[in-house]
Structure 1
């Protein structure tokens, strides 16, 4: 029978900010003689002992990485959940990796997210290895139901987003917004984010927009015993950076113009209100602008006075299914930032961060200003549509 040979291939993990490869994921390639076979077949032809096979694979990857002598790169290793679920097996794995000469701080152990769901021993052992100096990554985050509480309990150094999350983000604007928020959420728990499956120019642009830290995929570099270096990778990524910067610059120029027009019209409406003009007439300069959705007026406690005044062609709800939210008369918006900022600084125009409007679930910013009408403090508000 031909001899079974285990080989280690590496796929670069690239830092968008540093513009260089900062890690590699080790991927198994197995040969039986001259024929390439799958890892599953390799396991079957090995000893039949899953744990021993995992140790030999880890040793193969670590020896290869040690020979590369890349002191400034992490080695990302996939670890079988069954290995981490056993303290003895986890200790044996750590010992085998240390024999290669690699420092624990250069080894990132990848744990599948779904394996965290009901295995306290796995989490305990992973955290113990982390205390020994190894780094921990949650792999395939975003597959099906995500266990955020378990991820937080593990306290990973990295979270690797599943490639399907990226696929959906390139096709659906709402998922793209979710991707950005998930990146921020992982940053909040102290983890760097790796987006996997970056295979096209569009994938790179979405990854860049998301604010993620690291990327991995065929567009960056394919797995190989000695994969592409940064001299090949960086020009590809830089071209997408340039494309994104041009696009963002155009968007900002457009937004600045739109916001400036909205500010001017808002001040005009506010002055008219303070001079005693009826709200329906005073709001006309604002409602005439193409990106203004609605105007509304609040009293000094944040309670809405009357219904929304909607721009021409717009209704209280963008879609009939949101009709139960249409009438906001008497609604209390006192906890909204746009009200609180306005009431704290009367006469100062405030613009909120983009958010999802509860009235019709469109993304908007709200302009607001506290003004006196008939000697009582009111807050004038206008919602301005922003692109997703």
Structure 2
């Protein structure tokens, strides 16, 4: 079945732009195999993205997508997605989008095998009807380079993409900054909540692979996985590379978990001893001293039966709050009410039972921490003893 002729705006464009097709594998960490191929155009006489009027960019889209689709059909084997980059000019008008749909359909590529990738920076130019046309035709939608621009999360909820591809900048930041690493994992979770699979792109180094594996993402892409090529590497060479890094990461994680479990057990034992001392009439500051000397304990505090804090925090040497600190307005928690916190509610429901919270952001100094808590009787009144422990990096 022949494809439609290029539109008038493409006159001379196909001859002026000699386009080769290079495929870069997109690899599923869970399936341990390549599940997609991103088609990349490498013009022989230019290296920058195609520039021109919206009509010319749309015409270039049609030509490139058609060439990539034909090449994909010629080398199809196992079920895989063909990932095509689409200019915002094409998706800015439903008529242009409909032309792209017809072009791909007449070439014979099944819509369910095609992922159309849109740069997040072009999101404002995309017409919602254009996206609806693509979805109704059966194509998958991806937002590319998420995080490179100042992405509006509203775009995710408006377009409801099937995949979101994190840009290289997010990966680089996560390699060097612990907080960015945590943010990357949370962004992966947020995308999952929005119903999208996550591709971490720009995976080039050993550290990039480790960050991607730790993030909980679904798919990876980059030069470490495989470089773009007219005949890309197969899984017989890709999988051993990924497996080796996974085994290395699991070895590190097992060691870290072993150390963490040991520290946590020491903290739990010290916490129980502090609770016993308090119930026996020992002053709070004396009862908490052994626990505050442990390497992971940030602070101890005491609540009444309504969740109101009694006195100030007892801080360990890990807490270095200063009068000029930017979080100084939050430092004094005397009289604060923590009754809405899960660690208080669980403790008060089961007196005498040690509860450990899920990790959360502490309001006191914005560290990620967990809280140990237990409801105990002091002077015949119910109290809740609490201790914040910092999360290991």
Which TM class, normalised by the smaller chain length?
over 0.9
Structure 1 residue 13 corresponds to structure 2 residue 26:
yes
CA distance in 1, matches of 2:323, 2:85: 47
**Paired residue for 1:164?**
169
Structure 1 residue 115 corresponds to structure 2 residue 122:
yes
Contact kept? 1:298, 1:304, Cα under 8 Å: yes
Structure 1 residue 374 corresponds to structure 2 residue 379:
yes
Contact kept? 2:375, 2:385, Cα under 8 Å: yes
Structure 1 residue 208 corresponds to structure 2 residue 216:
no
CA shift, 1:27, in A, is 0.4
Instruction: Choose 180-189 or 317-326, whichever is displaced more.
Output: 317-326
Identify unmatched segments of 5+ residues in structure 1: 31-35
CA shift, 1:247, in A, is 0.7
Identify unmatched segments of 5+ residues in structure 2: 1-11
Structure 1 residue 82 corresponds to structure 2 residue 89:
yes
CA distance in 1, matches of 2:362, 2:152: 28
Q: TM-score, normalised by structure 2?
A: 0.91
Structure 1 residue 261 corresponds to structure 2 residue 266:
yes
CA distance in 1, matches of 2:373, 2:309: 13
CA distance in 1, matches of 2:250, 2:110: 38
**Paired residue for 1:33?**
none
**Paired residue for 1:359?**
364
**Paired residue for 1:57?**
64
CA distance in 1, matches of 2:62, 2:318: 66
CA distance in 2, matches of 1:313, 1:135: 49
CA distance in 2, matches of 1:364, 1:147: 29
1:236 to 235, 241, 249: 241
Q: Secondary structure at the match of 1:37?
A: coil
Q: Secondary structure at the match of 2:348?
A: helix
The RMSD of aligned alpha carbons is 2.1
CA shift, 1:7, in A, is 2.0
Q: TM-score, normalised by structure 1?
A: 0.92
| Residues 220 and 41 of structure 1: CA distance in aligned 2, closer, same or farther (over 3 Å) | closer
CA shift, 1:42, in A, is 7.6
Contact kept? 1:4, 1:42, Cα under 8 Å: no
Superposed, 1:131-280 pairs within 5 Å as 131-280=136-285
Superposed, 1:18-57 pairs within 5 Å as 18-30=31-43, 36-38=44-46, 49-57=56-64
| Residues 3 and 179 of structure 1: CA distance in aligned 2, closer, same or farther (over 3 Å) | closer
Contact kept? 2:101, 2:137, Cα under 8 Å: no
Contact kept? 1:297, 1:380, Cα under 8 Å: yes
CA shift, 1:356, in A, is 2.1
CA shift, 1:285, in A, is 2.5
* Deviation digits for residues 271-295 of structure 1 (CA, Å, limit 9, x no counterpart): 1111222111211231121221111
CA distance in 2, matches of 1:3, 1:272: 83
Q: Secondary structure at the match of 2:42?
A: strand
1:70 to 69, 77, 86: 77
CA distance in 1, matches of 2:178, 2:40: 33
CA distance in 1, matches of 2:374, 2:238: 49
CA distance in 2, matches of 1:176, 1:319: 28
